[in-house]
């Protein structure tokens, strides 16, 4: 019998982001190389990931292969159907690690998590950096120059 190999994270050699599988790393590397090996035979649009090509082809065929058993709404992507079905069942599989509030969609949970950290996405990061700058150099002149766009 073979032994079970522990998973290992594989880092991207360009940006050091890590992946637990070779497939994910291969897809990610294409963001750096620009390689798009999958081509639509209808319009010649190219894709870095084969599943993106399959999803794109449905824009030509109009096919929506996944349908809700509750309301019969249809979807191109199975993950979108799964999230939709949870609106009918009330299932909330994503929980906040801080306050245990639960969510039906991971993206909504992730947005909620930022309420605990004070992070507000890209704009919030810039705002935090700006506030830190003003705390370090908190003179009225710097503030005035910043807001009149004479600084930076």
6-10, 37-41, 131-135, range with the lowest pLDDT:
131-135
Q: Which residues pair with 94 in a beta bridge?
A: 103
Q: What is the pLDDT of residues 96-141, one digit of tens each?
A: 888 889 999 988 888 888 888 776 655 455 555 555 555 554 455 5
pTM of the model: 0.55
User: The tokens of 38 are what?
Assistant: 């999958």
C-alpha–C-alpha distance, residues 89 and 149, integer Å: 52
Element (H, E) at 130: helix 121-136
Q: Tell me if 46 sits within 8 A of 39, measured CB to CB.
A: yes
Q: Tell me if 19 sits within 8 A of 28, measured CB to CB.
A: yes
Average pLDDT of every residue of the chain: 80
C-alpha–C-alpha distance, residues 103 and 145, integer Å: 43
Task: Give the count of beta carbons closer than 10 Å to the beta carbon of residue 81.
Answer: 19
Which domains, and CATH codes, for the chain?
Answer: 10-61 (3.30.160.60), 66-117 (3.30.160.60), 127-152 (no CATH)
Q: Tell me if 8 sits within 8 A of 24, measured CB to CB.
A: no
Q: Computed from CA positions of residues 142, 143, 146, 152, in that sequence, does the dihedral angle turn out positive or negative? A: positive
């Amino acid at each position: 019998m073979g032994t079970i190999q522990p998973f290992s994270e594989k880092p991207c050699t360009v940006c050091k982001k890590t992946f637990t599988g070779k497939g994910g790393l291969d897809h990610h590397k294409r963001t750096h190389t620009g390689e798009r090996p999958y081509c639509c035979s209808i319009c010649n649009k190219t894709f870095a990931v084969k599943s993106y090509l399959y999803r794109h082809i449905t824009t030509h065929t109009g096919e929506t292969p996944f349908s809700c058993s509750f309301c019969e709404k249809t979807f191109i992507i199975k993950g979108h159907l799964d999230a939709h079905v949870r609106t009918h069942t009330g299932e909330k599989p994503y929980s906040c690690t801080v306050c245990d509030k639960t969510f039906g969609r991971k993206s909504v949970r992730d947005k909620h998590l930022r309420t605990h950290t004070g992070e507000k996405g890209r704009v919030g990061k810039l705002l935090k950096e700006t506030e830190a700058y003003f705390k370090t150099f908190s003179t009225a002149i710097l503030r005035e120059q910043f807001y009149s766009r004479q600084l930076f």
